Structure 1
Amino acid sequence: MSQKPIYAFAKWRVKEGQLDTVLNLLTEVVKKSTGEEGNLFYKVHQSNSDANTLILFEGYNDEEALEEHRNSEHFQKIVVGEIVPLLQDREVILTTRLDFGEQDAIN
């Protein structure tokens, strides 16, 4: 039985005055994360109503690939070590997509 892909939605509220620093650090995180074997995509969105709110939308082949990402040197060093201290709040929701038979335009 093959495992289903895991999708992560992370909502980051960046501390006032730290947005440019976080976005610069994210450039490296996105590059390294999308290079991981088990990564399907890594997309960063910014709220239209609050520039300090970022939504990260990530896809991984399975739970093992997600764990490899979380244990990677770049995640531990850049995200945990450098970005998290610049965040006011952070929420991560792990999901599995429900399939209702509709065409998936995102992939």
Structure 2
Amino acid sequence: MKRYLQVIAHYYAKAGNGDTVAARLAELAAATRTEPKNRYYGYFRSVEEPEHFVILEQYSDADGLAEHREMPHFQRIGVGTIVPLLERREVSSYMVEEGEA
């Protein structure tokens, strides 16, 4: 059975920074979707808490996430632009067997 890495991230923007984080996430998503080991990258903004974002990522293997974190676009947009706008972030990852829900 084939496996992949599922990443679930919660980003909490500092007050007033939600729109900027959303715009930068759009850039990061577009670039990440071109990575060879990326299977999916989607992000969602809370209706109740507009400074809260949930990011769902899938990589063909655990190395895919490590490689993503080293990509120039992640370093520039994610680390350089988004992270300074956050109050906090929580990231967890899980190995998933293909076919599991």
Same fold (TM over 0.5): yes
- TM-score, normalised on structure 1? 0.86
- Superposed CA RMSD in Å reads 1.9
Give the structure with higher Rg (CA): 1
Structure 1 or 2: more strand by fraction: 2
- How far apart, CA to CA, are the structure 2 residues paired with 1:26 and 1:81? 12
Runs of 4+ in 1 over 2 A off after TM superposition: none
- Alignment partner of 2:3: what SS? coil
Task: Note the C-alpha offset of 1:98.
Answer: 5.5
Unaligned runs of 5+ in 2: none
The aligned counterpart of 1:62 is: 61
Q: Count how many residue pairs are aligned between Structure 1 and Structure 2.
A: 101
Q: Which amino acid aligns with 1:34?
A: R
Distance, in Å, in 1 between the alignment partners of 2:96 and 2:4 is: 8
Partners of 1:89 and 1:98 in 2: CA distance: 30
CA distance in 2, matches of 1:48, 1:20: 13
Report the secondary structure of 2:79's partner residue.
Answer: helix
Shift, 1:97, TM fit: 2.3
Structure 1: stretches of 5+ with no match in the other structure = none
> TM-score normalized by structure 2?
0.90
